[in-house]
Homo-oligomer: A and B are copies of this chain.
Amino acid sequence: VNGARKGWKILAFAALTLAVGRRLIAAEPVEPPVSQEMFTVNNLWMLVATFMVFIMHLGFATLESGLTRAKNTVNILFKNTAIVALGLLTYALLGFKLMYPAGVDPGGVFHFAGLGLDIPHPADAISYAGGHYTYWTDFIFQAMFAATAATIVSGAVAERVKLSSFLIFSAVYVAFIYPLVGMWHWGQGWLSTLGSGPFHDFAGSTIVHSVGGWAALAAIMLLGARRGKYANSTVRPIPGHSMPLAAIGMFLLWFGWYGFNGGSVLSADPGAVSLVFVTTSLGAAAGVVGAMVVSWIIQDKPDLSMVLNGALAGLVSITAGADVATPMGSIIIGLVGGVLVVLAVLLIDTRLRLDDPVGATSVHLCCGVWGTLAAGLFGAEKVLGIADTNTGLFYGGGAGQLTSQLVGVLAVGATCLAGAFLILGTIKASMGLRVSPEEELRGLDIGEHGMEAYGGFQIFVTQ
């Protein structure tokens, strides 16, 4: 596979960066101690945010199964369940240490006992991150994040990917690629010390969503479209089997996003967290309106699946700058995201003829890139260290750091795309990526799992 060769080169460079990075990074500066009460409330918020991010996995599971056909539902639910489990375990085993090499325990990347969570003394744990939350809290919050990156891919490859191949890909991708680029930014890596100003990606438009989105793009290129999707010059829409499931998915994702973005403040700081709640909410709402208006104009009737993706587009878009956007800024960022996602779905599905059953690349990749760039359009100083005025779209009036944002987007994109092509290409060449045509026709539920999603339902419908 051609992509695999290019992937090796870039990945080798990236690994070198990681190795050097680990040596250069000093222990993070100790912040002034906080009271036991403040430590407790900060830690509590991070744990609440953790279970909010967890429920996003149910959101992905229901969104993806709702937007695909009934005969592949068991497979999607299975994948999303397995991914959470594999993601958490893999991150415990490897990811956490790769991503935060300067953590409490410098025992080595592959130090195993306690799965990378062993610490000299429990009391030390609570001095992690300036006393704001415990080492365990940090791990479990980050682990939930990590698992989402792989889940994003799941929807794009739905209805045709081989289960075992997908699980292997996800585990490897979450174990190596996600922590690598994550370290560049959140692990105090080179992106956080760029000469053009630090790369700003508050909660992961690039570091999480585009990481999933780039892999989704690579996967649908290597996999090919579902049977019957593209016949000669026509594009056949394949409707999802349950819009209630899809809507449940969107709402749960929005719900969980309060933890995803709100928790990324890394404390319960009232001003910062509440601003993030406002910008996240308004960004999502504007995404709905943007997608509604555009789909109403283009398709003549307002499309529900476009509007659901519009909400997600708004959320992905605001994620990079949720800590610095004004309410007005968040509305504009979300609105553009909602418009973009409709156009991207049409472009990818119809023009590029890349078959992405749930629009994962449009939502997570296109809007992830847009949101990251948007956060750099006006300067993005931390909200509490800003000037007295808040005119415009962002708090603070720093000069644009669009260059840094571009560097981050491109570096992460190239690495993820290369890494995904590398891993997927290797799998494709060895064990294969795709189920047989017969299995695809019959449905992956029978083929991969030997069961149906609605097996006991006939008893009713045959009445």
Q: Which residues A249-295 have CB closer than 8 A to chain B?
A: 250-252, 254-255, 258, 262, 268-271, 273-275, 277-278, 281-282, 284-289, 292
Q: Least Cβ distance of A300 to chain B in Å?
A: 7
Which residue of chain B lies nearest to A84 when distances are taken between CB atoms in the complex? B285
Knowing A52-B51, A55-B251, A281-B88, say if A452 contacts B137 (CB, 8 Å). no
Interface contact A85-B288, CB-CB below 8 Å = yes
- What are the interface flags for A198-233 relative to B under an 8 Å C-beta threshold, 1 for contact and 0 otherwise? 000000000000000000000000000000000000
Report the bound CA distance from A181 to B237 in whole Å.
Answer: 47
Q: Does A139 contact B (CB under 8 A)?
A: yes
Which residue of chain B lies nearest to A143 when distances are taken between CB atoms in the complex? B281
Stretch at the interface among A16-24, A58-66, A400-408: A58-66
- What are the interface flags for A109-124 relative to B under an 8 Å C-beta threshold, 1 for contact and 0 otherwise? 0000111011111110
Interface contact A40-B449, CB-CB below 8 Å = no
Q: Does A173 contact B (CB under 8 A)?
A: no
Which residue of chain B lies nearest to A450 when distances are taken between CB atoms in the complex? B301
Which chain B residues border A123 with CB–CB below 8 Å?
271, 384
Which of B268, B390, B453, B456 is A244 in contact with, Cβ under 8 Å? B453
Which of B244, B443, B455 is A77 in contact with, Cβ under 8 Å? B244
Stretch at the interface among A188-196, A302-310, A413-421: A302-310
Q: Does A44 contact B (CB under 8 A)?
A: yes
Q: Does A102 contact B (CB under 8 A)?
A: no
Q: Least Cβ distance of A253 to chain B in Å?
A: 11
Interface contact A278-B140, CB-CB below 8 Å = yes
Q: Is chain A's interface secondary structure helix, strand, loop, or mixed overall?
A: helix
Knowing A37-B38, A81-B311, A114-B390, say if A44 contacts B268 (CB, 8 Å). yes
Given contacts A241-B457, A242-B457, 17 further A-B contacts (CB under 8 A): A40-B269, A43-B274, A47-B273, A50-B258, A55-B255, A62-B248, A70-B459, A70-B461, A71-B459, A81-B251, A82-B292, A84-B288, A85-B311, A89-B282, A299-B450, A301-B449, A301-B450
- Which residues on A are within 8 Å of B, measured CB to CB? 35-45, 47-48, 50-52, 54-55, 57-58, 61-62, 65, 68-71, 73-74, 77-78, 80-82, 84-86, 88-89, 92, 113-115, 117-123, 125-126, 133-134, 136-137, 139-140, 143-144, 163, 238-245, 247-248, 250-252, 254-255, 258, 262, 268-271, 273-275, 277-278, 281-282, 284-289, 292, 299-305, 307-308, 311, 326-328, 331, 383-384, 386, 388, 390-391, 395, 443, 448-461
